[in-house]
Amino acid sequence: MAEVQRVTVLGAGSWGTAFAKVLGDAGRDVTMWARRPEVAAEIRERHLNSSYLPGIELPERITATADPAEALDGAQAVVLAVPSQTLRTNLSEWSGLLPPDAILVSLAKGVELGTLKRMSEVIAEIARVDDGQIVVVSGPNLAKEIALGQPAAAVLACTDHDNAKAIQQASFNQYFRPYTNTDVVGCELGGACKNVIALSCGMAAGLGLGTNTTATLITRGLAEMARLGAKLGADPLTFAGLAGVGDLVATCSSPLSRNRTFGERLGRGETLEQALAATGGQVAEGVKSCTSIRELAMGLGVDMPITDAMHRVCHEGVDPRRAGAELLGRSQKHEWS
Ligand SMILES: NC(=O)C1=CN([C@@H]2O[C@H](COP(=O)(O)OP(=O)(O)OC[C@H]3O[C@@H](n4cnc5c(N)ncnc54)[C@H](OP(=O)(O)O)[C@@H]3O)[C@@H](O)[C@H]2O)C=CC1
Ligand SMILES: O=C(CO)COP(=O)(O)O
């Protein structure tokens, strides 16, 4: 297994920057690409990214540029840290610049609208690489906490275990503990679906509901994501791990979660447009993924009632209270049916 020393991170938002810090603190040489030249300059010259992680000092070994060709030169691993719904367009612009043997690392948690593809499927299609060259990062990883050096674990999923191990070696440090996994489908679905469940938990909080409701949504959310995973060949154990329960607990309970915060705003009576305006340009993936995941599930005949409810609240103007009442009023069933 070749050691990965030079890593490029494409995307300088919250998680891209925090993950670059993880890599830098693990002793890797990191070059970031930022869409805005002023963000690249601030990272390069002041070791700060005040747009996304104010007050966090970045390691000196991280540099940055707004030129993708310069960023990708000599990279042994390339971390893709842009929103799910723009990944296809972003990657299409970069695909000719990717070093052919570089391991591609996906941070995005979503399912593409229209194609209903997982992020690793989009990457394989656009970069024309085998799935064994793509490592998916998932788990309870709220960017700000990681950037502050608070301990957390993650899963690195890849069908090629050596490539997962290479990224594990490159990212392991005193506060970040990555585990490997070969269940790419389960890890990606866990990461995408939990954003939608976090929306529902936020919504419940916005409606003034308490811990029992949150725990019910987390547990039944886990049941519906595991049903989808089973249909798509995921390992059921994955949903009991960091990319399932782990990420659900973190995202559904933390005020740092953009998805949970977004849901809370809707629960308090804000419109979709008002909630979108309040995100400050940061992505709440569940708002779009509720639609793609719902469509994916419907095509496979999988029942995902919470996801369906979130789609109807976000995109069909259904009142959150009514969506909640309808969820409770569905026909009675066995817990595991
Ligand atoms: N934040 C977190 O805690 C975690 C996030 N994730 C996942 O990682 C992925 C990236 O998230 P995160 O870094 O937080 O996202 P942010 O919204 O914080 O940042 C997005 C980054 O992508 C850039 N970008 C490039 N092209 C586009 C485009 N066409 N539209 C919008 N943005 C673009 C943005 O540039 P610009 O600044 O110029 O807008 C910005 O640098 C998401 O899928 C998210 O779910 C996963 C785990 C944790
Ligand atoms: O994926 C995350 C934590 O693991 C981040 O969640 P948010 O995008 O909701 O902030």
User: 214 CB contacts (<8 Å, ≥6 apart)?
Assistant: 201, 204, 205, 252, 253
Tell me which of 151, 182, 213 is where a domain ends.
182
Ligand 1 centroid from CA 133, angstroms: 22
As beta bridge partners, residue 179 has 155
Distance from the alpha carbon of residue 286 to the mean position of ligand 2, in angstroms: 10
Q: CATH number of the domain at 55, please.
A: 3.40.50.720
Residue 164 has pLDDT above 80, yes or no: yes
* Co-location of 127 and 49 in the same domain: yes
Domain co-membership, 162 together with 202? no
| DSSP letter, residue 111 | B
Is the pTM higher than 0.95? The answer reads yes
Residue whose CA lies nearest to ligand 2 atom number 8: 258
Query: In whole angstroms, what is the distance from residue 168 CA to residue 177 CA?
Result: 8
CB neighbour class for 191 (10 Å; exposed up to 12, middle 13-18, buried from 19) = buried
Structural domain for 225, as ranges: 190-328
Give a yes or no: residue 337 inside a domain. no
Whether the pLDDT of residue 1 is over 90: the answer is no
Judge if 161 and 217 occupy the same domain.
no
Q: How many domains does the chain have?
A: 2
What is the mean predicted confidence (pLDDT) over 77-84?
Answer: 98
156/137 Cα distance (integer angstroms) = 5
Residue 171 shares a structural domain with residue 241? no
Ligand 2 atom nearest to 141, measured from its CA: 4
Same domain, 234 and 260: yes
265 close to 87: Cβ distance less than 8 angstroms: no
Which of 154, 182, 210 represents a domain boundary (last residue)?
182
Q: Which two tokens stand for residue 301?
A: 């005949």
Taking only the tens place, the pLDDT of each residue in 51-70 is 999 999 999 999 999 999 99
- 67 and 46 within one domain: yes
Mean residue pLDDT of the chain comes to 97
Q: What is the C-alpha separation between 129 and 122, in angstroms, rounded?
A: 10
Complex confidence, ipTM: 0.98
Residue whose CB lies within 8 A of the most ligand 2 atoms, among 251, 260, 265, for a mutation test: 251
> Could you list the active site residues?
194
The answer on 303 and 233 residing in a single domain is: yes
Q: Tell me whether residue 135 is in a domain.
A: yes
